[in-house]
A and B are shown apart, each in its own frame.
Chain A
């Protein structure tokens, strides 16, 4: 599904603070199940996820999605691919304060111009599914950590992407809430979605549908374990 060939990422290239986050990654990722990227802080997990999800381009190397070269697509086309293929759950949730839960969930679909009634109905279905139906009109700053994480999950799914990318999804949650979120991710994987998670939380590895664990260290692949 996603192929990485000799992928490197350098930040602040040719500047005194140049930093090489990834070095020559060769990787083939199949559809379905949960793939976990683990490793210490600064190992390049998040950078790799941003490249996989088309949020950034590699400094060198090639990334293809179902045979289509992503790494040299202009912004407009890359955004279109990202919208339809990837959903993102960020470590800090990154919900927009001042807006309601429902509005936050609908936001990724705004540029697509879906009919309002249809979009609102789809958002309500997702909120019900994640137990947030009663919170639809609440402002996101009033939500608990678990509720905010589930809202972020619903937002990631509003465009019905094939791939869900979750960056440290349990980093800001206690164990009970972490299990709850991981269970939801497991359910999504069971329904056929591909899920990429970056984490160094041992709880993540306990998730039933983890198919593969990739270990990164100093920007390079240090381990590849199929479960």
Chain B
């Protein structure tokens, strides 16, 4: 056992010396490798971070949301439905909600409008998301002019700006009063956009949803779990898109690694010949080269992952953040909660280190099987 460990130590010593002797080439390879790990790790860390943020935010979402469907599309919900919903067994509270979108041609962006009764806003008061405030250069006390559905100008006074901690989902948010909302969209008083339900036992949310579907056949109950799944799906789709691009890079890197290993310099081939002539076995050469691969790939992996981690959690927005965050013009600026996921780390390790080792194995094996008498003849 001791002899085995000593042997590994000698091989490792030799490998480190060999790597340092070919600084320029190995540094180039290390840089490309680190960059690749950095890109992949950034995508994984960033999208996982977004998913986690969304899950945290959705914790406060209602257990069930009920919408009315007309011809398969979302329609306004009559106020009488609220009573029907209240009488369904298992429902403890029902709240009619008003929300919608407003396209602002001035900044070519959609705002998300939500009536927030708990804010007790006056009819002409609004609270805006920080990205919206930023892009329109608005502050508390300023006025934002919107154009109502009947063509009338509707000046609304900013009574507050939302905290940027919640900016992921509130960047383009505009909170207003029920009166202000109905005036903007010229809505009659007896309708709501949808209804938010609280159920006594959250585990029975699905059963409650089934009862709602029976009581109101033209309704569409949406569970919180389904909302979470939708976010998951959206982020996964976007993550997948980036992965397709990055997997091409990964393939290119594997080809580069193969080339590097296959194109061993005359000097390296000479060295392998000498080592074999002075008593090293093919397996010793393979082990030494394996150490070289492990050292190189682990250094690249740890450096790339660490850089990505700091960039995602402390470095602000990444270059591809818009792809993952969504289509909105008003991009939120926010900090993700730092975290390390072991499973994620292992997947990344397998997708970056394994292809490198696999790509270099065959060319190295070929070089390691050099005849030991080649040195005498050369």
Contacts and interface: CB of A to CB of B under 8 A. Distances in A.
Interface residues of B, number: 34
A108 B6 contact: no
A90 B375 contact: yes
Contact of A55 (B3, B7, B277): B277
Contacts of B275: 96, 107
Interface string B245-285: 00000000000000000000001001100110111111110
SS class of chain A's interface: helix, strand, loop or mixed?
helix
B17 A55 contact: no
A142 interface: no
Contacts of A75: 281-282
A113 B279 contact: no
Nearest to B6: A113
Interface in A71-129: 75-76, 79, 82-83, 88, 90, 92, 94, 96-99, 103, 106-108, 110-116
A220 interface: no
Contact of B281 (A76, A92, A107, A115): A76
A107 B377 CA distance: 21
Nearest to A98: B21
A181 B283 CA distance: 34
A167 interface: yes
Nearest to B288: A110
Contacts of A106: 10
Nearest to A94: B274
A149 interface: no
B14 interface: yes
B372 interface: yes
A117 to B, nearest CB: 10
A112 B3 contact: yes
B372 A116 contact: no
Given A90-B277, A94-B274, A99-B17, A115 B6 contact: yes
A114 B373 contact: no
B9 interface: yes
SS class of chain B's interface: helix, strand, loop or mixed?
helix
Interface residues of A, number: 34
A98 B265 CA distance: 15
Interface string B19-39: 011000000000000000000
A35 interface: no
Given A56-B371, A98-B21, A99-B17, A46 B377 contact: yes
B376 A49 contact: yes
B11 interface: yes
B267 to A, nearest CB: 8
A54 B353 CA distance: 38
Given A96-B271, A113-B4, A116-B9, A107 B373 contact: no
Max chain B C-beta neighbours (<10 A), residue from A50, A115, A155: A50
A159 interface: yes
Interface string B213-229: 00000000000000000
Interface in A19-60: 46-47, 49-50, 55-56
B365 to A, nearest CB: 14
Contact of B11 (A50, A110, A156): A110
A46 B284 contact: no
Interface of A: 46-47, 49-50, 55-56, 75-76, 79, 82-83, 88, 90, 92, 94, 96-99, 103, 106-108, 110-116, 155-156, 159, 167
Interface of B: 2-7, 9-11, 14, 17-18, 20-21, 267, 270-271, 274-275, 277-284, 371-373, 375-378
Given A108-B279, A111-B7, 5 more contacts: A90-B376, A107-B14, A111-B279, A113-B3, A116-B9
17 contacts: A50-B376, A55-B277, A90-B277, A94-B274, A98-B17, A98-B18, A98-B21, A99-B21, A106-B10, A107-B278, A108-B278, A110-B11, A111-B10, A111-B279, A111-B281, A113-B4, A113-B10
